[in-house]
Amino acid sequence: MAEFVTLEVSDGIGTIRLARPPMNALNRQLQEELRAAAREATVNDEIAAVIVYGGEKVFAAGADIKEMADMTFAEMAPIAGELQSALGAIADIPKPTVAAITGYALGGGLEIALGADRRIAGDNAKLGVPEVLLGVIPGGGGTQRLARLVGPAKAKDMVFTGRFVGAEEALAIGLIDEMVAPDEVYNAARAWASKFVGGAARALAAAKASIDQGLDTDLNTGLKIEAAQFAALFATEDRTIGMASFIENGPGKAKFVGK
């Protein structure tokens, strides 16, 4: 049984819950439990979409600095990649994902949220990558995912200064996609995730892969990725069901089976 991370499934939605009070500090055990939960969410066919949530008061206030404070270069070098992949585990889930952010999402906490397809935050949320104030830089994907999301200039401002960004500014710069009252964050995330329950799971996965992989390369290569993903869907049951339903009943009425 995991101690700090749980995966709960209801009505086709999986909720990965971070629970290490009081601030959900991301020690190595939590990181590995997050990786395991993301893997389970990937392979569980009952799950159509995934929410990552830190609870009503805080998303996650960063890495466990006490755990890192006495580490040497020789100790950190072989595990830095593991840290990065664990905090980026949400990005590897081939299903729609949404981060439900309440309170602080700082350092590694924000890096986890950056791996989601969508971010919904309470209007009291504070987001940031303050690692420079500790003499280091974001090491869980923050320098890369943040710059791709908000652009290099805004990412550099946040990384260089380590300042916290409020929810309104985060919405304005595209760091979050929706701002709601703090007690509505999880419900808003479920409302978005529920759109994909009963959807064409293989097509959603192909769309996600095409966008994510295409952004990492040039346009021509991205178009080839899209073409390959598009053609592969003609081997799925859902493509047959979807097109037959469209011809017979019009759009939006197909009953997909996820295969």
CA–CA distances in Å: residue 121 to residues 6, 33, 61, 146, 215: 21, 23, 14, 16, 25
Superfamily (CATH H level) for 201-249: Lyase 2-enoyl-coa Hydratase, Chain  A, domain 2 (1.10.12.10)
**Residues 99/78, Cβ–Cβ less than 8 Å:** no
Q: How confident is the model at residue 123, as a pLDDT?
A: 97
> Residue ranges of the domains in the chain?
5-196, 201-249
Q: Model's pTM, two decimal places?
A: 0.95
The yes/no answer on whether domain 5-196 falls in CATH 3.90.226.10 is yes
**Residues 106/164, Cβ–Cβ less than 8 Å:** yes
Q: How confident is the model at residue 58, as a pLDDT?
A: 97
Task: Tally Cβ neighbours within 10 Å of residue 79.
Answer: 13
Active centre residues (catalytic): 111, 131
Pull the structure tokens for residue 248: 């017979």
Average pLDDT across each block of 10 residues of the chain; the chain has 259 residues. List them in order: 94 98 96 97 98 97 90 94 95 98 98 98 98 96 97 98 98 98 98 97 98 96 98 97 95 93
